[in-house]
Amino acid sequence: MPFLFFLTLACSGPCDLTAETLDLVGPNAEDCGSTDPIPCIEQAVLDGRPAWGSTSTQGIDSIITTTYSWTGSRFWLLTDDSYSPGIDGRECVGPSFPGGELDCDQTLPAGNHYQVCGGSGQGSPQPLPFNP
């Protein structure tokens, strides 16, 4: 019986980056896609309406996907690395788009990240709980 209990906890299900993003921005947020989302998101920021988009980068042994999530008042970067379980989050304070690229005046939490979903809880410093 103890083994089954452990197995149940260990297999509680994978994190879903799109679902976490939609929970954050809301169901009516504009989907700016994954080909070139930044111009669409920039316009949404200027208009004050929620939007999100994503980009993926092939690493050595994994794919790293980042969603750019504008709630209408706060800008979040959620990142999923296919090699390790979990979704990390950072808040982009003061987003701007010089030359069509995202720039943040500051990312919070400074020197750390929020654990949005999953993760092993290892590392230093320990990730912070995500309570947007």
Domain ranges of the chain: 15-119
5 pLDDT higher than 80: no
109 upstream amide cis, omega within 30 of 0: yes
Report pTM. Answer: 0.83
pLDDT, position 130: 83
For the stretch 25-43, pLDDT in tens is 999 999 999 999 999 999 9
pLDDT, position 121: 57
CA distance 92 to 102: 9
Range list of H helices, 28-128: 38-47
Query: How is residue 91 annotated by DSSP?
Result: E
Q: Which residues have CB under 8 Å from 113's CB, separation 6+?
A: 88, 89, 90, 127, 128
65 pLDDT higher than 60: yes
pLDDT, position 126: 77
Q: Note the residue count of the chain.
A: 132
For the stretch 90-119, pLDDT in tens is 999 999 999 999 999 999 999 899 999 987
